[in-house]
Amino acid sequence: MDNILNKLGLNLDEKTKLADDSIFCFGCHKELSCYNTCCGGLDIFLTPYDILRMKNRLGMTSAEFISKHTEPVIHGESKLPFLKLKLAQTGSCSFVGEEGCSLYDDRPLACRYYPIGFGVYKNDAAQGSDFYFLIKEEHCKGFEEKQEQTVAEWRKKQEIDLYDDKNKVWMDLILNKKMYSPDLEPDEKSLKMFFMGSYEVDSFKSFVFESRFFDVFEVDEELQEQLRSDEEELMIFAHKWLQYALFRMPTMKLRGA
């Protein structure tokens, strides 16, 4: 986290660290000279729920969206594949035009947070604690606006709590300390499994319903029917399956066990 803060020119201390009740001034609208400037030249990492919302908005399958609109990134510590939004050749987001974001209602979590940054401590002393900070870029005029809000009010307005809820199981998975063990050397099968279970909800649905999955795992019929019709529940189920498959967490039950 220190490396990220350094790149942003931030020194995190008690003055710059924000809590839910911290107040800040910020506003964004078309009349600002910097409008849309923040939507380019940056890495926007995508969560599973981001991809689900965006691919459905565009009427695409997960595989189609991932192929056309994302780039894979291997996280150095975990050696697992993550996805970031592919930018246009100009360096700007391909979904942003003069009038703003064409996918605004389904924009990614990273865009919803801006200008708030969010971090989680990974060191044992502060494990499980998180914090917020302001991302103040020189070009941004939004901080000159007089619109006051708390961090909690901003989160509610941007529907961040909804996104955090949908991504919770996956976030618990990728923050598991076992992910960052120097002894972890995922093989090709594990990498494909992680990628499908994280991002490819359509492929995971085929995997579940066109295999012996329900002969192996005990899943009641009511939940099976829900998984057929509710992609969001299917996505969360996939993340629970990953917890079991990668770390044998008790999120799934084998038949006869």
More confident of the two residues 35 and 163: 163
Q: Are residues 32 and 79 in the same domain?
A: yes
Cα distance between residue 78 and residue 233, in whole Å: 26
Collapsed DSSP state (helix, strand, coil) of residue 81: strand
User: For residue 109, is pLDDT > 90?
Assistant: yes
Q: Give the Cβ contact number of residue 144 at 10 Å.
A: 11
Band (185; pLDDT cuts 50, 70, 90): confident
Average of per-residue pLDDT values in the chain: 87
Q: Are residues 66 and 193 in the same domain?
A: no
Q: Are residues 102 and 114 in the same domain?
A: yes
185 domain residue, yes or no: yes
Q: Are residues 41 and 67 in the same domain?
A: yes
Domain membership of residue 171 as a residue range: 162-247
Phi and psi (nearest 5°) for 104? Answer: -50, -45
Last residue of a domain, one of 133, 158, 183: 158
Q: Are residues 97 and 145 in the same domain?
A: yes
Q: What is the pLDDT of residue 129?
A: 63
Q: Are residues 26 and 133 in the same domain?
A: yes
Instruction: Select the highest-mean-pLDDT range: 26-40, 113-127, 195-209.
Output: 195-209
What is the average pLDDT across 195-214?
97
253 domain residue, yes or no: no
More confident of the two residues 18 and 187: 18
User: For residue 137, is pLDDT > 60?
Assistant: yes
pLDDT tens digits along 55-79: 999 999 999 999 999 999 986 676 7
Model pTM? 0.87
Q: Are residues 9 and 106 in the same domain?
A: yes
User: For residue 180, is pLDDT > 80?
Assistant: no
What is the average pLDDT across 139-167?
93
Cα distance between residue 206 and residue 53, in whole Å: 19
201 domain residue, yes or no: yes
Q: Are residues 5 and 107 in the same domain?
A: yes
Last residue of a domain, one of 158, 174, 191: 158
Q: Which of 166-180, 213-227, 240-254 has the lowest mean pLDDT?
A: 166-180
Q: What is the pLDDT of residue 16?
A: 73
Q: Are residues 62 and 148 in the same domain?
A: yes
Give the number of domains in the chain: 2
Q: Are residues 62 and 89 in the same domain?
A: yes
Q: Are residues 13 and 108 in the same domain?
A: yes
Compute CA distances 199 → 2, 69, 187, 194, 237, whole Å: 28, 13, 18, 8, 12
252 domain residue, yes or no: no
Q: Are residues 115 and 66 in the same domain?
A: yes
Cα distance between residue 25 and residue 154, in whole Å: 11
Band (121; pLDDT cuts 50, 70, 90): low
